[in-house]
Amino acid sequence: MDPDECGIPVVLTADDVAKLNAEPRHAHEVQPVATCDLEGGHPGEHHAYLQETANRTGWWVRWEGNGFGGAYVLEVLRHCHLTRSVPYEDWTDEEACLLWRGHPGRCDF
């Protein structure tokens, strides 16, 4: 985990984990505990990326407070996809932000 990230955890139900892992385009195994991907000290609710879904969108979970045993909301959001160029000696790479479009705080490059 990036030390600048908020990192507050949320616990997902087994049903939701199973649903997310059944996504036809799923990119990885969703774990029962997710941690907030936003910049530390961010305003508003916590958000964690969970799973890839349709093109350029993903499943996110958002919640308030410390998340343990609390309510949360699953939703599909469009990716931010702002990019920055990272120059190397003889070529340039493009890194994309992995947060959702309209997120608060800095991009997650």
Does the footprint of Zn ion cover residue 99 (CB under 5 A)? yes
CA–CA gap between residue 30 and residue 8 (Å, rounded): 17
Does the footprint of Zn ion cover residue 36 (CB under 5 A)? yes
Does the footprint of Zn ion cover residue 77 (CB under 5 A)? no
Q: Do residues 14 and 52 make contact, with C-beta atoms less than 8 angstroms apart?
A: no
Q: Which is nearer to Zn ion, 11 or 97 (CB)?
A: 97
Supply the minimum distance, in Å, between the C-beta of residue 98 and Zn ion: 8
Q: Do residues 57 and 74 make contact, with C-beta atoms less than 8 angstroms apart?
A: no
Q: Which is nearer to Zn ion, 28 or 78 (CB)?
A: 78
CA–CA gap between residue 24 and residue 1 (Å, rounded): 27
Does the footprint of Zn ion cover residue 107 (CB under 5 A)? yes
